[in-house]
Amino acid sequence: MKNRFVINPVLCTGCRTCELACSFAHSVDGKMGRSRIYPLDGGMTDLWVPVACLQCEEAACIKSCLVNALRRNPETGAVELNEEICVKCMACVAACPFGCALHDQQHDLIIKCDLCGGDPVCAKFCPTKALEYKPFEPAKKKIAG
């Protein structure tokens, strides 16, 4: 787990390029899938927040999966869904406290961010670097308040 997926809402312009890139990268049979990342304006007029799976350490989705379709990839640290095993009971969709496990109604699939197997396409296409996949560095300055 060398790199981390970093979201910096301050730089986000809400252009939704990440959504488009995600839909293309996770297309099913040549048809665009539902995006795993959601830029929402968060109720603050000047800030857009791309919401994507936070790959929790103690993940509610893994706990809720009764057939063990969700497992952590030890290389990327991402929680990955095995679509073959998934029985579509929607337990993970209901359990995720961040709302980041989704149901793709068009293809009838449960989807969640898997960091594209260690090379997130959304971060590559983000024009303002609001999304980055980079080695983790602790904050230099402590922020007061």
Partner 1 sequence: MVNITINGKIVQAEEGEMLLSVIRRLKIDVPALCHHEAVEPLGACRLCMVEITKEDWNGWSKFVTSCLYPVEPDLIVLTHSDQVNEIRRTIMDLYLARHPNSPEIQKLAEEYGVLKTSYEVQVDGDNCILCGICTRICDAMGFHAISLVGRGHGKTVAPPLDEPPPDCTGCLSCALNCPTNFIEFSDQGNKRTIWKKDFEMLACVKCGATTITREFAEFLSRNRDIPFEYFETCDACHRKETSLSMGRIAAWTKEAQS
Give the footprint of partner 1 on this chain (CB under 8 A): 7-10, 38, 40-44, 47, 49, 51, 60, 63-64, 66-67, 69, 82, 84-91, 93-103, 143-145
Q: Which of 1, 2, 23, 9 is nearest to 125 (CA)?
A: 23
Q: How far is the CB of 48 from partner 1 (least distance, A)?
A: 8
CA distances to 4, 81, 122, 124 from 118, rounded to whole Å, are: 10, 14, 12, 12
Between 11 and 32, name the residue whose CB sits nearer to partner 1.
11
Between 1 and 67, name the residue whose CB sits nearer to partner 1.
67
H-helix or E-strand spanning residue 17: helix 17-25
Between 18 and 93, name the residue whose CB sits nearer to partner 1.
93
Q: How far is the CB of 28 from partner 1 (least distance, A)?
A: 14
Q: Which of 32, 48, 55 is nearest to 126 (CA)?
A: 48
Pairing between strand 79-81 and 70-72?
Answer: antiparallel
Between 1 and 94, name the residue whose CB sits nearer to partner 1.
94
